[in-house]
Structure 1
């Protein structure tokens, strides 16, 4: 599991260090403060490592391989023209440095790049072994409706879609998990399928359907909020989110009503309790409070960490701790609270 992420001069961040929970990490901030950038950065490095483990078949990644592969993944996920475009430009400093610290120190990796870097990063610390666990990234948009033929078209043409869409579609299309893990999968799926009113199934024609007691329905005809639940349900069913692994989820609450947000919050906490290290980015007070309620009575050590992103004249700074109160004042959250106060005042004078 990842325990530390230190960043210097990357996009909107000047100098920050995130001390992470091995279970659940909630990143909160206004638009433009880099929530999604943190998710994509962590995902890119973890995915670059785990994707090639089976393909290369070597005992450990090499420095030469990592220098090209990490840069390639960052460009594929962020879609800049060159890797150097991700370095924050400011007077007197033109280099980005990034440090990934793991609970198992032989996985640690440190690298950097300059504003003029094109296709490689410079590795200063090389991991001594491969990352065994896989990573999954869920964007704000659901992907079940675009799944048919998306991967083959993406790999055969130059499309202006970030690489996370292609990666997630590959995971969505994987076979269902069978064997001794099925009981745990059914336990995690039960509340999701209750909320969706059915189960997600991949037909031989390459399209996803929602199967219910009344029949099956094509994904484009299903409500978008249910489709988002369907993505997480499918990843659980294939075993991609079971045991050790990483889940990055950008704004899980987007296009969901409060009832479904509660289901999502429960699933997020359940996955983190099951051994998945979860990272979510949000500015939803409702989701944040639901997670706090669910983790408040947890007896597990370091069950959740909260990170508040704040814009300053010297880039985005981070306030962090084991409760939401440690994040500092987040304007987006304060607006929701202030609206509630105004509503109560208008109702009761």
Structure 2
């Protein structure tokens, strides 16, 4: 499980440390406060434990700076500057290991960056992980993997990664009862199950097979979760990163998705997601129990320095600052103000 991630002069951050709960982690904050950057950096470190690739190269492919110049990931400043990102995780036996990437704004290629820390132990302890990006890719799956491998196309690697993970065959061995129950809940929510044929995904239901290109995106999100659970990507000890799960999702489906995520956490999956949505936040608040491990991380810019800072809490009502709640609260105030003006007419 991921314990924490530290940034120093990396992308939008001057200096930031994010402590992760082993359960559910929810990142909130206004646009430009680095939520997606946290997800991507942590995912890159986790993913290389399975692919055995290089950390610097993965970071570069996930962030995709202009010209693939990795030095552009150093926080912009006048003159020369150095930056770093360090991820710490706990492995079997309770030992903490760390992986650190150091680079300067003059570093041009990933192989010129310095990777240090527990590099050997990091690779020897694989961690199953999945990153669900904002843009849906399941409807665009046919041919995308081969196109990405054979051509220089400008796509962050998280998009091809999630397609590859969705296509993974079912893991060996029997399907545990809790996983069967989760799959059943998802099938009930989307009224069918997912099948893959010739690199296309279909929702198979009583009405027949409906291709993902004709399926509402909310159902495609449920279908993707179904595939990742069914093929064993999301099992005890794995990590799920999800960037804005509410995108193009009907609020009625949010209850089901949050419920599934909470159940995954209870099965031992660590979850890190970002959101701008009040309904998502409130569903987690209403559906979690005291025994659930949940942490809310509020990212904001300091009024004195302008730099990004973080405030973390395990209780919804203690989130501060809370840009989402503040915005919805302003609606109430504006509604009252409008009503009061009407009384004077």
Q: After superposition, where does 1:1-349 map in structure 2 within 5 Å?
A: 1-52=1-52, 69-80=54-65, 81-90=68-77, 94-104=81-91, 105=95, 107-119=97-109, 120=111, 121-129=113-121, 130-177=124-171, 179-203=173-197, 205-295=198-288, 297-300=289-292, 303-312=293-302, 313-343=305-335
How far residue 189 of structure 1 moved from its aligned partner, in angstroms, is 1.5
CA distance in 2, matches of 1:273, 1:334: 30
How far residue 11 of structure 1 moved from its aligned partner, in angstroms, is 0.9
1:67-111 Cα offsets, whole Å, 9 max, x none, are: xx1111111111113111011023587111222222234532223
Cα 1:279–1:273 change in 2 (3 A) is same
1:110-164 Cα offsets, whole Å, 9 max, x none, are: 2311111122321332334223221100011222111112111110001111101
CA distance in 1, matches of 2:180, 2:56: 38
Q: Counterpart of 1:108 in 2: which secondary structure?
A: strand
Q: Counterpart of 2:177 in 1: which secondary structure?
A: helix
Q: TM-score, normalised by structure 1?
A: 0.89
Q: TM-score, normalised by structure 2?
A: 0.90
**Unaligned residue ranges in structure 2 (runs of 5+):** none
CA distance in 2, matches of 1:5, 1:201: 37
Matched with 1:63 is: none
CA distance in 2, matches of 1:249, 1:109: 22
Cα 1:127–1:325 change in 2 (3 A) is farther
How far residue 285 of structure 1 moved from its aligned partner, in angstroms, is 1.2
Contact residue 240 and residue 270 of structure 2 kept, 8 A = yes
CA distance in 2, matches of 1:114, 1:150: 33
Q: What is the number of equivalent residue pairs in this alignment?
A: 330
Which deviates further from its counterpart, 310-319 or 221-230? 310-319
CA distance in 2, matches of 1:189, 1:345: 47
Contact residue 306 and residue 326 of structure 1 kept, 8 A = no
Q: Counterpart of 1:124 in 2: which secondary structure?
A: strand
Contact residue 80 and residue 106 of structure 2 kept, 8 A = no
1:243-262 Cα offsets, whole Å, 9 max, x none, are: 21111000001111111011
Cα 1:200–1:13 change in 2 (3 A) is same
Contact residue 77 and residue 163 of structure 1 kept, 8 A = yes
